[in-house]
Structure 1
Amino acid sequence: MKKLVLTLFVAATLAGCDQTEPVQTVDWYKAHDAERTAMVSKCRNNPGESDASPNCINAITAQNHLTVEKRGYTKHEPINVLEGGK
């Protein structure tokens, strides 16, 4: 059991070692159009390998936020049908 735990710990540690690029936030990607576009393109070109990386998730989330903001989405209060539709 101890060998299994040690093996898993070493594997998890080594798995994070190849990440050389810094992780950027969603707000950073919103402010940097060229970098966001390049990262989204990179993520979509190879989704099996890079789509789950933090930068891909943040860049795609930033792209989605900007798209929703362009549409003029406004948040509405939910309608509770059981209370008469308020």
Structure 2
Amino acid sequence: MKKISIVLVVAAPLLMLAACKSEKPPEVVQTVEWYKANKTERAEVLAKCKSNPGELAATPNCVNATRADTSTTWSARGGGIAPVKPLTADDINKK
């Protein structure tokens, strides 16, 4: 009985260390500006994010790549929606 408990006491930390080593290294997080400048990498990350949105959609790289893609799309269209001046009483009464 003592031998089994000694083996368990010695083996438990070793198993915990082995589990820690199996983790993959953390992914480098790129900024929105970096994704704006690197179109091919942005497309690769967006494809990966769209293939598994349940796990990846909220990750920093997916968010930053999506924001960079949205920003470049709207800037290519001329900055988005043109500003609209507010209506005044004179504008309404012109009818």
TM tier, smaller:
0.5 to 0.7
**Paired position in structure 1 for 2:28:** 22
Aligned-partner residue type, residue 25 of structure 1: T
Any residues of structure 2 matched to 1:10-49 within 5 Å, and which? 20-49=26-55
TM-score by length of 1: 0.66
8 A contact 2:74–2:80 mirrored in 1: no
Larger deviation, residues 72-81 vs 24-33? 72-81
Unpaired segments ≥5 residues, structure 2: 1-22
CA shift digits 1:38-65 (9 cap, x unpaired): 0000001110000000100000111111
Number of corresponding residues: 69
Unpaired segments of 5 or more residues in structure 1?
Answer: 1-16
- Which of the residues 62, 71, 79 maps onto 1:73? 79
Larger-Rg structure = 2
Report % sequence identity: 39
What secondary structure sits across from 1:40 in the alignment? helix
TM-score, scaled relative to structure 2: 0.60
* SS of alignment partner, residue 76 of structure 2: helix
Letter in 2 for 1:34: T
